[in-house]
A and B are shown apart, each in its own frame.
Chain A
Amino acid sequence: MSATPVKEAGRPATAQRAAEAPAKGPSRGSASANPPGHDRPYLASEKDLAPLGLHWVDEAERPARARELLDKMRHYRRTFQMYMDVCTHCGACAQQCHSYLGTQDPKNMPVARADLARRIYQRYFTWTGRHLPRLVGAEDLTEETIEAWYKYFYQCNECRRCAVFCPFGIDTAEITIAMREILAYLGLVPRFLTSVGSNVLRTGNNMGIPRPALLDTVQFLEEEMKEETGKDIPIPVDQEGAEVLYNPSSSDFFSNPDTLTGAAKMFYAAGISWTLSSEIIETANFGLFFSEPLLRAHSQRLIRSARRLRVQRIVAGECGHGWRTWRMFSETIHGQLEFPITHCAEEACELLRQRRIRVDPEANPQRVTYHDPCNLARAGDIIEQPREVLRQITLDFREMIPNREKSFCCGGGSGLLMDEMMEVRMQLGKAKADSVRATGAEILCAPCAICKAQLPLVMEHHHVPVQVKGLLDLLGRAIIL
């Protein structure tokens, strides 16, 4: 119930690989199914890395290769270099990081996490680190440090909350992203991420759903909606010339179908022609978590698909990292696009303002509170729109504290949904559980696929009796067709 400190595993990487269990794909399994005390994700094998163009670097060569990569990274990403230089070790970030608060591991303080990289950076790339290393705590790079990198940069959710409270605005997420990229080029990637990455390259979605399965599921959901509403509400697939290409999270087809049917009802009620693309039913971008080439490839796939279908705009579904990719990375990858990309919460908000859809808040009588996904609020600029929608579709809406850009991460961000990390994940979610408990809400609205996978487990673990729903789920209940 209360957070227990995470113990250092301390085993070298080779021993860990030898001890691993058979491969498991992405799953939202129960909290009790995993061995306790596992503090880092299972490593991908050479075979797992191959489809992503990555490979093992021999342990003996890793420190030298890592130094080269650090050198490249500090020139490639100004943020990485500045954040290494400007931190004054004031410690303001520590009390604001859900990872440190939940695990109580001092290395999970954002400043300490950054120091794992900073000590090495200073040793090789700064005057003080080269000539007076002991003064600044600079160290030579060893295999132990690389293993500590793997452990701690996969205990950061890249949520950016530290950036809000750091006097300099140092965004530790940028450091984590850079370091995970370096680890990837050393061949150190969680198996969960390479598995999802391979699925994405093969099928255009995280879960590996092929077209026939997609069409089956779509048909099933259309039948469900007909039973529920008596209306023929379509979920079009590959319809050329539609106004909107709707790009959901692939989990909408299995775990969160209410989100997808909510979107279908919304477009139907507003008379907007829309379509899915069987080529890519995934807004989530797992490339963001460890591989910039994958990030770009997946983003380009979506734009190609939108152009092929000749749509007028793309509407992103309820997925945090997917939206973050659009808001933060898209302009660099694609330049100015000939069509806009909006978020489904913005669509809903605008349709309500224009009275193109009508809702009955009596359909959601329970107390509802709203979780700001990190990637919608801090990284995505979608803060007030979901609230405007919620106030119209619910009877009892309550804000949690903290909220908006100060909201705590759910603990599953940046792909930390592995079963083997369950104990750590539950610790990461503690701060959010406390916020929700204080509201007394029955429904927790969380418009992000990772939050929807993580929060039910977190709430159950911390004994907070609440149901997790998406924004479109609640809209789907309230909408008048």
Chain B
Amino acid sequence: MGSTGVLLTALGYAAIGVFVLGMLWQMGKWSMAGLPFRVTVFPVRSNWAAAGHILWEALSFRSLWRGVREHWAAAWFFHFLLALVLLGHVAGIGLLGREFVVFRLAPAQSLALSHLLGSVLGVLLLLAVVYLLVRRAGQKAIRLISSAEDYLMLILLLAIVGTGNGLRFLSTVELAAVRDFVAGLVLFHPVAPPASPWFVAHFTLVALLLLYFPFSKLVHTCGFFFTRWTITRHYPRQVIWR
């Protein structure tokens, strides 16, 4: 493995390590802080209903739907496309394009569909990130509350999605090479990465994101569940009327 490979491998381990440990530390910090009072925002009927609310909120962004619809669209489409792209990384790269064989497609057809979806979603996700960036800079109220980090995160995402699209449209990297490299990392048996500047760029940018993740507002990915549960949890009171 050349020096690029060694560096990329080291970066990969550092990024995953910092990300996992950092997020655990952050969640631990929250859990250790006191919660002296019941801060439920009503109405809530029961803890099962609360769990349902939280799940539905995570899937549909219901609270934004109740507000300004344009905001809901900007946020929901971005997150939905991101989720699909991440899923595609695991299923599409992991199974080398054969993930649709399960739906009775021939391997060649599955590969073609996987390629198509990956391409379309990659472009749409890029557009979604561009829209978020434009709206943050363009809408006065949001511009007023934005810090440099808010813009930086979006630009970083733009670069990540951009290099990802570069990998898909402008490079000749094979899915198998990517899968082997990632599998090598995960199984602690590192192999050489694909020899492609697009891949090096994409992987490095993702690693940078993961390194910074636990120290940024991106903790909202886990934080969402903590804050939502805190205001949705039901607690009984003594009542004599039902």
A341 to B75, CA, bound (A): 42
Contacts of A82 in B (CB 8 A): 30, 33, 223, 226-227, 230
In the complex formed, the residue of B with least CB distance to A163 is: B41
Contacts of A406 in B (CB 8 A): 66
Given the contacts A168-B223, A328-B39, A78 and B68 also touching, CB distance less than 8 Å? no
**Residue B35 interfacial (CB < 8 Å):** yes
Whether the Cβ atoms of A78 and B231 lie closer than 8 Å is no
A383 to B41, CA, bound (A): 12
Contacts of B150 in A (CB 8 A): 88-89
Whether the Cβ atoms of A76 and B33 lie closer than 8 Å is yes
Q: How far apart are A137's CB and chain B's nearest CB, in angstroms?
A: 4
Whether the Cβ atoms of A167 and B230 lie closer than 8 Å is no
Whether the Cβ atoms of B42 and A381 lie closer than 8 Å is yes
Whether the Cβ atoms of A135 and B152 lie closer than 8 Å is yes
Whether the Cβ atoms of A92 and B42 lie closer than 8 Å is no
**Residue A134 interfacial (CB < 8 Å):** yes
**Residue A332 interfacial (CB < 8 Å):** yes
**Chain B 137-170 near chain A by CB (<8 Å), digits 1 or 0:** 0010110111111101000000000000000000
Whether the Cβ atoms of B144 and A128 lie closer than 8 Å is no
Q: How far apart are B33's CB and chain A's nearest CB, in angstroms?
A: 4
In the complex formed, the residue of A with least CB distance to B68 is: A95
**Residue A60 interfacial (CB < 8 Å):** no
**Chain B 227-242 near chain A by CB (<8 Å), digits 1 or 0:** 1101110010111110
Q: How many chain-A residues does the 8 Å CB contact rule pick out?
A: 69
Whether the Cβ atoms of A336 and B238 lie closer than 8 Å is yes
A111 to B71, CA, bound (A): 16
A174 to B68, CA, bound (A): 24
Whether the Cβ atoms of B36 and A76 lie closer than 8 Å is yes
In the complex formed, the residue of B with least CB distance to A402 is: B66
A405 to B231, CA, bound (A): 13
A379 to B36, CA, bound (A): 16
A211 to B33, CA, bound (A): 43
Whether the Cβ atoms of A134 and B148 lie closer than 8 Å is yes
Given the contacts A90-B75, A169-B41, A342 and B36 also touching, CB distance less than 8 Å? no
For the side of the interface on B, what is the size category?
35 or more
* Among listed B99-107, B180-188, B213-221, interface-contacting one: B213-221
**Residue A91 interfacial (CB < 8 Å):** yes
Which one of A106, A168, A331 has the greatest number of beta carbons of chain B within 10 Å?
A: A168
Whether the Cβ atoms of B227 and A126 lie closer than 8 Å is no
In the complex formed, the residue of A with least CB distance to B66 is: A165
Given the contacts A75-B34, A87-B217, A169 and B237 also touching, CB distance less than 8 Å? no
**Residue B29 interfacial (CB < 8 Å):** yes
Contacts of A331 in B (CB 8 A): 38, 235, 237
Contacts of B232 in A (CB 8 A): 169
A406 to B83, CA, bound (A): 30
**Residue A237 interfacial (CB < 8 Å):** no
Q: How far apart are A368's CB and chain B's nearest CB, in angstroms?
A: 22
Q: How far apart are A85's CB and chain B's nearest CB, in angstroms?
A: 6
Pick the contact of B224 from A134, A167, A380 — CB < 8 Å?
A167
Pick the contact of A137 from B36, B139, B148, B220 — CB < 8 Å?
B148
Whether the Cβ atoms of A383 and B43 lie closer than 8 Å is yes
A327 to B237, CA, bound (A): 8
A405 to B42, CA, bound (A): 7
A417 to B161, CA, bound (A): 52
**Chain A 84-103 near chain B by CB (<8 Å), digits 1 or 0:** 01111111101110000000
Q: How far apart are A77's CB and chain B's nearest CB, in angstroms?
A: 7
**Residue A56 interfacial (CB < 8 Å):** no
A179 to B226, CA, bound (A): 21
**Residue A434 interfacial (CB < 8 Å):** no
Whether the Cβ atoms of A112 and B144 lie closer than 8 Å is yes
A293 to B54, CA, bound (A): 34
A150 to B218, CA, bound (A): 30
In the complex formed, the residue of B with least CB distance to A138 is: B147
CB contact list, A93-145 vs B, under 8 A: 94-96, 106, 109, 111-112, 115, 126-128, 134-137
**Chain B 191-231 near chain A by CB (<8 Å), digits 1 or 0:** 00000000000000000000000011101100110111011
Contacts of B219 in A (CB 8 A): 85-86
Contacts of A137 in B (CB 8 A): 147-149
Pick the contact of B39 from A79, A168, A377 — CB < 8 Å?
A79
CB-defined A-B contacts under 8 Å, sample of 11 = A82-B30, A85-B26, A86-B219, A88-B220, A89-B147, A167-B57, A169-B41, A331-B237, A347-B241, A378-B41, A383-B42
Chain B interface residues toward A at CB < 8 A: 26, 29-44, 57, 61, 63-64, 66-68, 71, 75, 139, 141-142, 144-150, 152, 215-217, 219-220, 223-224, 226-228, 230-232, 235, 237-241
Q: 8 closest pairs, A vs B, by CB?
A: A86-B223, A78-B33, A137-B147, A340-B238, A381-B42, A350-B241, A169-B231, A91-B142
